Amino acid sequence: MEAKDKFIIDTILDTYSNIDDPQLVILQNIQEILGYVGEEYLTYVSENSEYSLTELYGVVSFYPQFRFDPPGKHTIKVCSGTACHVRGGSGIAQELEDILEIKPGGTTKDGLFSLESVRCLGCCGLSPVIMIDEETYGRVKKGGLQKILDSYKTEEVAE
Ligand code: FES
């Protein structure tokens, strides 16, 4: 792990050393600043705090907001909110996982896509909804996702 990453985590641990049960806020800060909460970061936190590696993994696995891998070039947010859920959002989420071969919090092997599950993207009238970077895709259909993803791969080849 790079010295600058250790410095960042030391600073975060120091900053929250006086609050009750800072585990969650420490992990949120690490992800916000370093982009993800990978194994090396969790190990370093466990070695320098009261929290065991098992406890830290438990928290990171429980909250879908956490990412184990460095973020990919494009971030896909799939909505798991109520409006999207009742209109087939879970099928969309599953199809994305199948195509990309990752779970929420993961990044594809080629580093092109990261997948996140979010509660609501704020455009429930378009459900089911996904977002890729800043682009919103509404009323997405199973079977239509590959075409959307391919457009990002084509863009990659053109660059
Ligand atoms: S519930 Fe999916 S956008 Fe609001």
Tens digits of residue pLDDT in 131-158: 999 999 999 998 999 999 999 987 776 6
pLDDT at 61: 87
pLDDT score for 64: 77
What pLDDT score does 145 carry?
A: 96
Residue nearest to atom 1 of ligand 1 (CA): 81
Pick the atom of ligand 1 nearest to 84's CA: 2
From the alpha carbon of 126, which atom of ligand 1 is closest? Answer: 3
Give the pLDDT of residue 154: 79
| DSSP letter (8 states) at residue 123 | -
User: What pLDDT sits at residue 65?
Assistant: 81
Which helix or strand (DSSP H or E) is residue 136 part of?
strand 135-137
Is 78 in a helix, a strand, or coil?
A: strand
Ligand 1, pocket-test mutation among 86, 116, 129, 140, most atoms within 8 A of CB:
129
> What span, in angstroms and rounded, lies between the C-alpha atoms of 75 and 132?
6
**Rg, the chain, Cα only:** 18
Question: Which pLDDT belongs to residue 114?
Answer: 93
pLDDT at residue number 86:
96
pLDDT beneath 70, residues of the chain: 157-159
Cα–Cα distance, 144 to 159 (Å, whole number): 24
> Which neighbouring-strand residues pair with 77?
116, 131
Contacts of residue 59, Cβ cutoff 8 Å, sequence gap at least 6: 23, 24, 27, 66
In sequence order, the 6+-apart residues with CB closer than 8 A to the CB of 112 are 72, 73, 74, 152, 153, 156
The pLDDT of residue 66 is: 87
pTM: 0.76
The reply to whether ligand 1 has any atom less than 6 angstroms from the CB of 140 is no
Pocket residue to mutate for ligand 1, from 77, 78, 90, 120, most atoms within 8 A of Cβ: 120
Nearest to residue 1, comparing CAs of 53, 46, 39? 39
Q: 154: CA distance to ligand 1 center in Å? A: 28
For the record, the structure tokens of 19 come out as 């609050």
**Is the C-beta atom of 34 inside 6 A of ligand 1?**
no
CB neighbour class for 2 (10 Å; exposed up to 12, middle 13-18, buried from 19) = exposed
